[in-house]
Chains A and B, each alone.
Chain A
Amino acid sequence: MQALHVLNIVGSPVLLASEKGETLKLAIIKALESFPFVAVDFTGYQFISSTFFNYAFGALCIEEAWNHDDFGKNIKIQGLSEDDAEELELCLFNVQQRRNLLANNINTEEFYATRIPV
């Protein structure tokens, strides 16, 4: 198993910006080329945003066509607070919803448009 220490990869304990999420995503993709799964260790982080989660893990799931189980098989998350771990779950849930729509050939723009209150 490959362990990725986020702070070393991103270079900062402040994990807010989307670009930092992208950096982590690319590091994960590269690691998975050589290892069956990776541990992503957030130990020492100070701040993290939903933006970071979306660009790191949300984008990863969409690009790799992973569902929640696939994510769990490939990625082991370590070092997140309980609140932030729940926020990551919300990110993965939203991605799953979006992927379900795309898998059923539902145009997400039209789908969300029909949900809008008049």
Chain B
Amino acid sequence: MKYFDLSYEAVNFLGQFGQHLNATTSETVELVSEFLRPICVVFLDQQFRTQSRPKSLYLSNPTVNTYLRDAGFEFLAPNAPTHFSPFDRRRRTGLKAFTNRRDDEIVLAWVREQVMVHFPNFTSELERDMVKKVYEIVHNGMVHSHSSHGVSVFGQLFPQKKTFEIAFYDAGVGIPQNVRNYGERIDSDAGCIEWALRSGTTTRPSKESGGMGLFLLQKFLGINNGFLQIASGNGYYERQGNQEPQCKALQHFLHGTLVSIKVRQTSLSYSYKHQS
């Protein structure tokens, strides 16, 4: 894919690439692209971490290779061309893989040092919201993915659009499988994602409490007029602000769970009332 955006087509392509990566016996896998974004970085990071035999990634575009290298991606092929980075590194976070759900203070430090710097004049309330939301997405991934490789996270500022994108990916079980293991009656993977976003729904055992994190994330992005994208299995979900969500079936199965949020640079925070 020449230019990745935050779209259904881009996620479809990632699923296709992931299948190719898992199927190939080649030690070096080529990706043809001239522009990546955070969903690509986290997806590639976990996909290459979880290979049973070491593989490396090759792109012919030195700018893209440099972008990945500077992000902290460790699986570039040795002969992948790079050059002096034209990117302003202050626009990006470092690529981080969180593997221990006890590390809440590490998540806090990462958000403070690498995310909040991109929100000028942020309020303590906005910082609180961002820390909570990032932690809860990371925690969800670590608890529900059953993956020993944790969750990869990466963010980037798009200054002209005044938005900050953060992407999260785990190459674990995936939402649809978790939900089916719990309920066994869901036909569509996109329906499983929608179910997981409701208040009070959780795949934790009956006697455990849960079902708030994703619901509150939606509310936060609704007030911020931000964007939420979730892909898992053959399910795809996206929602802009408080608009009607779009749910579709992916053409290519995506292992694990990919979450991307786009937050507008604003000091607006929110209060909410729980719905009965």
Give A residues with C-beta under 8 Å from B: 12, 14, 16-20, 46-51, 53-55, 57-59, 61-63, 82-83, 86-87, 89-91, 93-95, 97-98, 102, 108-110, 112-118
A18-B139 CB under 8 A given contacts A54-B212, A93-B276, A94-B211: yes
B interface residues, Cβ below 8 angstroms from A: 101-105, 107-108, 125, 128, 131-132, 135-136, 139, 143, 182-188, 191-192, 194-195, 199-201, 206-213, 216, 270-274, 276
Contact of A110 (CB < 8 Å), options: B128, B132, B183, B209: B183
Query: Which residues on the B side are within 8 Å of A115 (C-beta)?
Result: 195
Q: Show 13 residue pairs from A and B whose CB-CB distance is below 8 angstroms, ordered by the A residue.
A: A18-B139, A46-B128, A48-B132, A58-B210, A86-B274, A87-B216, A91-B212, A93-B276, A98-B200, A112-B183, A116-B186, A117-B194, A118-B188
Q: Is the CB of A51 within 8 A of B139?
A: yes
Are A49 and B132 in touch, CB under 8 angstroms? yes
Of B185, B201, B270, the most chain A CB neighbours within 10 A belong to B185
Q: Which residues from chain B contact A48 at a C-beta distance below 8 Å?
A: 132
Is A16 within 8 A of B209, CB to CB? no
The answer to whether residues A51 and B272 also contact, given A59-B209, A94-B209, A113-B185 and a CB cut-off of 8 A, is no
Residues A97 and B200 in contact, CB atoms below 8 Å apart = yes
